[in-house]
Amino acid sequence: MVFQDLIIKKRDGRELDLGEIEYLVQGISDHSIPDYQVSAWAMAVFFQGMNRREIRDLSLAMARSGDMIDLSSIPGIKVDKHSTGGVGDKTTLVVVPLVAAAGIPVAKMSGRGLGHTGGTIDKFEAIPGFQVEKAGPAFIDQVKRIKAAVIAQSGNLVPADKRLYALRDVTGTVESIPLIASSIMSKKIASGAQAILLDVKVGQGAFMKDLDRARELARTMVEIGQGVGREVAAVISDMSQPLGCTVGNTLEVKEAIDTLRGHGPGDLEELCVYLAARMLRLGRRFEELAEAERWVREALKNGQGLTKLMEMVEAQGGEIDLGDENYGLPRAQIQHLCLASRSGFICELNAMQVGLTAMHLGAGRECLDDRIDHRVGVELCKKVGQPVKEGETLAIIHAQNRELIPEAIAHLQQAFHFSEEEPQAPALILDCIE
């Protein structure tokens, strides 16, 4: 096979067969196909797309390019969760303990944040002592014992995606539905769970800027999963404004604990209850969604979710002090108020701008090798739909370096938009595709 012929075939809008896709994935994994040819092929896919069969074959071939995690020794239906990435998305810290507390095992591998979006592993690492590296047997043993573990993706999980994603990142080919869907689903398939809940984010702070594209991505991923014998549901949720009131790793851990104690922000609680209930249905713990939601709400009230988080934290070497007002988490040295320059209602709170502000303060990375500071970030005091008076606090900047504050304020001033009239807060849960 000559790879150039496969680029031409895709460039001309023709279909690649299974053998050609396997040859491509092999060549990406063993570097026998050079960067410029992989990139040219990705650009051809960007413009010509792939059909459902090609996307499924690509996902499965990529999944098999590295370790395939075997969770079969863990009793019960293993349910995984994945978010396509957002700002302030700390749902995993809340949802995984809730689902595990109901007896459904969650053996989750997560990634680190890149760009304006945060990563679950960075958030867990903000808990002092928390270990995100665990060898396979210890990971499986923890899930058998306490039903939940969240660790960093193993170095050899879907190596083909690692190389392809790095090339897409620098060649303008990230925003392609077949490539995003196969990238995400290959990792989920390799991670071994039988059932997967996807949270597809839509809005300015997400990859998918409009609902139609988010639905198409969700449908594509659900079909890939079903095509390889996994049960998949995809929730579509709003990411036009950040989720909850905090962006930045330690701040988000604190907010997740508050939520498990029953006093988190309304939007975060609403989404977590819905996602956890959907996972409990995928795990066959409840037939009806309403029944599952009732159980989850009760678990927030009676502390079962919080107890499970504490078990997870202890099992992974971390320390949280529930008696301390900041739960024993380190605080940034500087808290600087960002004040409203006018009165009105908040009609838009740009998630991308808030994410970039947190990144600028050191909470996120531009490149995967960048070091981050878990303590810094942004606490939002106003969200869309709320009234504000001139001089009131819009947000609190948590920083370690005073020199970064003027630019952080400038970013935040661009994030908040005002109107005279009271606007409608955006709907949070927009659809669910099963």
3-state secondary structure 394-422: EEEEEECCHHHHHHHHHHHHHHEEEECCC
What are the tokens at 269?
Answer: 């609680």
What are the tokens at 1?
Answer: 């096979």
- Report which of 179, 191, 180, 47 is spatially closest to residue 107, judged by C-alpha positions: 191
184/235 with CB nearer ligand URA? 184
Catalytic residue among 183, 191, 237, 240: 183
Stretch that binds ligand URA, among 137-145, 172-180, 258-266, 421-429 (CB under 6 A): 172-180
Three-state DSSP state, 171: coil
62/358 with CB nearer ligand URA? 62
Considering only residues 187 through 226, tell me which ones interact with ligand URA, judged by CB under 6 A: none
Chosen residue from 180, 349, 394, 404 binding ligand URA by CB under 6 A: 180
Considering only residues 235 through 274, tell me which ones interact with ligand URA, judged by CB under 6 A: none
Stretch that binds ligand URA, among 56-64, 180-188, 250-258, 398-406 (CB under 6 A): 180-188
Min. distance of Cβ 114 from ligand URA in angstroms? 9
The maximal CA–CA distance of the chain, rounded, in angstroms, is 67
Three-state DSSP state, 108: strand
Site string for ligand URA, 81-120 (x = CB under 6 A): ---xx-----------------------------------
Helix 18-29 / helix 52-63 crossing angle, nearest 10 deg = 40
For ligand URA, how many residues bind (rule: CB under 6 A)? Answer: 8
The C-alpha atoms of residue 299 and residue 12 are separated, in whole angstroms, by: 55
Relative to beta strand 148-152, strand 106-110 is parallel
Min. distance of Cβ 339 from ligand URA in angstroms? 36
Walk across the sheet containing 344-349 and list its strands. Answer: 387-388, 344-349, 416-419
Stretch that binds ligand URA, among 151-159, 174-182, 255-263, 422-430 (CB under 6 A): 174-182
165/327 with CB nearer ligand URA? 165
Cβ atoms 362, 372 nearer than 8 A: yes
Stretch that binds ligand URA, among 118-126, 173-181, 267-275, 374-382 (CB under 6 A): 173-181
Going by C-beta distance under 8 Å and a sequence separation of 6 or more, which residues neighbour residue 432? 233, 234, 235, 236, 278
Q: 82 an active-site residue?
A: yes
* Element at 59 (helix H, strand E): helix 52-63
Residue closest to ligand URA, measured at CB: 183
Min. distance of Cβ 351 from ligand URA in angstroms? 16
104/234 with CB nearer ligand URA? 234
Catalytic residue among 81, 168, 215, 278: 168
Min. distance of Cβ 199 from ligand URA in angstroms? 12
Q: 56 an active-site residue?
A: no
3-state helix, strand, coil in the chain (%, to 5): 45, 15, 40
Cβ atoms 105, 151 nearer than 8 A: no
Please report how many Cα atoms fall inside a 13 Å half-sphere around the Cα of residue 344, on the Cβ side: 14
What are the tokens at 90?
Answer: 């700390």
Cβ atoms 110, 154 nearer than 8 A: no
Total Cβ atoms within 10 A of residue 367: 8
Stretch that binds ligand URA, among 67-75, 177-185, 213-221, 299-307 (CB under 6 A): 177-185
Q: Which residues pair with 72 in a beta bridge?
A: none
Q: 183 an active-site residue?
A: yes
**Which residue type is seen at 145?**
R
The reply to whether 185 sits near ligand URA by the rule CB under 6 A is no
179/256 with CB nearer ligand URA? 179
Total Cβ atoms within 10 A of residue 331: 13
Min. distance of Cβ 165 from ligand URA in angstroms? 6
Min. distance of Cβ 369 from ligand URA in angstroms? 18
142/176 with CB nearer ligand URA? 176
165/418 with CB nearer ligand URA? 165
Cβ atoms 313, 380 nearer than 8 A: no
111/303 with CB nearer ligand URA? 111
What are the tokens at 30?
Answer: 């063993």
Catalytic residue among 161, 258, 267, 373: 161
Chosen residue from 43, 98, 184, 217 binding ligand URA by CB under 6 A: 184
Min. distance of Cβ 174 from ligand URA in angstroms? 6
Catalytic residue numbers, as ranges: 82, 161, 168, 183, 187
Binding site for ligand URA (CB under 6 A): 84-85, 165, 174, 179-180, 183-184
